Amino acid sequence: MLFFTQCFGAVLDLIHLRFQHYKAKRVFSAAGQLVCVVNPTHSLKYAPTRCAAAQASTEQGIPPPCHHHEAVHDPQLVPCTCPLFSCPWEGHLEVVVSHLRQTHRINILQGAEIVFLATDMHLPAPTDWIIMHSCLGHQFLLVLRKQEKYEGHPQFFATMMLIGTPTQADNFTYRLELNRNQRRLKWEATPRSILECVDSVISDGDCLVLNTSLAQLFSDNGSLAIGIAITTSKVHSSEAEM
């Protein structure tokens, strides 16, 4: 009887741990790789009041307007590049990262190769999963978005943006990899600069695109693991061969 009581206690502990797992962004290491659990923006707390209207419009299915070029008066200043809110902040490129961390509570991770584990994939579109990634002396923003480009047919779009200029972005290649159920999907590209609009990258479809059925095949218990690697650019050798 004592054995069963202990088992029941252990199960309760596991359920509690599982609950904690879904409550916060967590980082842990699995088989030498840094795994970052990223919750959707529906779980994002402490959103600044000035962003509430934009957040509400996002939740109603209206993406926040892309107003990068409208807001800049001083060419030295860049607008807030957070894809979640149409935030009125503007500042120098060097302080964008601290603004994203402090105001928008976007986490930052170190490491050349990480695993981005997006939870609650079943949540309705539009939903975003966002993390910053510090690597090779630069910071990158990884955006996974669930969006209905065609009404009633949500798709997942994943892209990586450099928090830097387009010229700096040309020096890098990023790779996103999904691997599960005897299927593997890899996307490699040059990151776009954060000065370009993430919304237009996604609407152009120039990123990793997944239909819901394929996302389900790659998901485990409602979470999607995306392996991320960033390298300095080199000419794709096999391009010439093809």
Residue ranges in contact with a copy of itself by CB under 8 A: 30-33, 115, 149-150, 153, 173, 177, 179-180, 182-190, 204-206, 209, 211, 213-214, 217, 225, 227, 233, 236, 238-242
At its nearest, how many Å lie between a copy of itself and the CB of residue 213? 4
Q: What is the DSSP string of 211-237?
A: EHHHHHHHEETTEEEEEEEEEE----H
C-alpha distances in Å from residue 237, one per residue of 91, 108, 234, 240, 241: 39, 32, 8, 6, 7
At its nearest, how many Å lie between a copy of itself and the CB of residue 120? 18
**Which one, 6 or 211, has the nearer CB to a copy of itself?**
211
At its nearest, how many Å lie between a copy of itself and the CB of residue 20? 22
Nearest to 35 by CA among 241, 220, 166, 242: 220
**Which one, 76 or 213, has the nearer CB to a copy of itself?**
213
At its nearest, how many Å lie between a copy of itself and the CB of residue 33? 6
Q: Residues 202-211, buried b or exposed e (16+ Cβ, 10 A)?
A: beeeebbebe
Rounded to whole angstroms, the Cα distance separating 46 from 54 reads: 14
Cβ–Cβ contacts within 10 Å for residue 172, how many?
20
**Which one, 88 or 205, has the nearer CB to a copy of itself?**
205
**Which one, 91 or 227, has the nearer CB to a copy of itself?**
227
**Which one, 110 or 179, has the nearer CB to a copy of itself?**
179
Rounded to whole angstroms, the Cα distance separating 219 from 104 reads: 27
DSSP letter (8 states) at residue 86: -
Q: Determine the residue type at 106.
A: I
At its nearest, how many Å lie between a copy of itself and the CB of residue 28? 13
At its nearest, how many Å lie between a copy of itself and the CB of residue 163? 20
Pairing relationship of beta strands 108-110 and 219-220 according to DSSP bridges: unpaired
Cβ–Cβ < 8 Å for 54, 64: yes
**Which one, 27 or 44, has the nearer CB to a copy of itself?**
27
